Amino acid sequence: MQKAPGRRGRLKCHRRKAVVFAAGAKAEGHNNVLGSPTPSAVVAVTGIRIFVVLLGLCGLAALASNAAVELDHRLNSDVAQRTAGIRPALHRHLVRLSQALQARHAAKVLVVGSSSTVGVGASSPSKTYVARLEPDLERAVSGADFEVVGRGVSGEVAQGAADRMRREVDDVKPDLVVWQVGTNDALSHVSIDRFRNCLKSTLSWLKEHNIDVVLINPQYAQALVKDAYYEQVVNTIANIARESQVLLVDRYGAMRMLDFGNSRPVDLSPDNLHMNDEGYRRLAEQLTETIVADLPPGGDAPVANIPTPHPGGISRE
């Protein structure tokens, strides 16, 4: 049997352990056998902790940024789907308007629509988008004289505008027709097939008579989009514009993006249907930008920089 170490043996064993522990402590930056950290070790550990905290903050910021980018991408994708293919790079749509400006330095624009074209919701007639369009275009196209004629009928559906389109065109003899359309058809649940056929046949008639066209789709409002049929009409207009190769002002998409994050809409009047002064101002700018962007650069009509708007029972507009 092996004898247990005596007192002297135990002391030697403790000394050996103490020496080993002290060596290990010095190797890791400690200054004594009890493990007290040196100043350099304290700084290093503190630096590591700060670095870890900063990494965490950066991670949270990255997550927030990625979420914002994803939402922005979804909103922009929605707009892009409606406008995709409407403006091919080498194809110009406003041929007659361009020719009129080059030949006469003047052009006539006929605006047809419902109460948005009448200007319901504006504080005065001078604040409507029709009234603003003429000076906006003349500022954008130097040396050009525009005459803008508004012919709006409150509560009118597309078929009503189509029925009077020939008469209005014969009266005004426009180079460009701006057709604000779709809101009342959506609110009245006009048959999509009937609505589609009305738009296509009217656009075909205008094309046959060598008249340029720009379409304006319905306005956006949270109360309106609760009805799924409303957005179905918006998408139908986009598809017809693409098929007929006419320009589309995506009022719906621009107002939707502007409305995001706001507690109340900034573009609508208190009835939550018609636009207010700010909404009409933005629509006039968006329409002007769409028209000017399609005109040929240089020549007699140099283009200026025009800002783009980052765009109870309701029965009729």
pLDDT for 48 equals: 54
Most confident of 50-54, 272-276, 298-302: 272-276
Q: What is the mean pLDDT of the chain?
A: 78
Residue 104 CA to residue 192 CA, distance in Å, equals 41
Q: Which pLDDT score, from 0 to 100, does residue 241 have?
A: 97
Tens digits of residue pLDDT in 37-58: 555 544 454 555 665 445 555 5
Judge whether residue 168 has pLDDT over 50: yes
| pLDDT tens sequence across 220-255 | 998 898 999 999 999 999 999 999 999 999 999 999
Q: Which of 310, 187, 186 is nearest to 260 (CA)?
A: 310
Q: What is the pLDDT of residue 265?
A: 81
Strands (E), the chain: 106-113, 145-152, 176-180, 212-216, 247-249
Encoded tokens for 283 = 């629509």
Percent of the chain with pLDDT over 90: 59
Give residue-wise pLDDT tens across range 103-157.
999 999 999 999 999 999 999 999 999 999 999 999 999 999 999 999 999 999 9
Bigger pLDDT: 268 vs 77 = 268
| pLDDT of 70 strictly over 60 | no
- State residue 31's pLDDT score: 42
CA distances from 157 to 52, 104, 198, 218, 253 (A): 62, 35, 10, 12, 21
Q: Domains in the chain, start-ordered, CATH in brackets?
A: 11-84 (no CATH), 93-294 (3.40.50.1110)
SS (H, E, C) 287-305: HHHHHHHHCCCCCCCCECC
Q: How wide is the angle at C-alpha 211 spanned by C-alphas 210 and 214, nearest 5°?
A: 140
Residues 170-184 have a mean pLDDT of 98
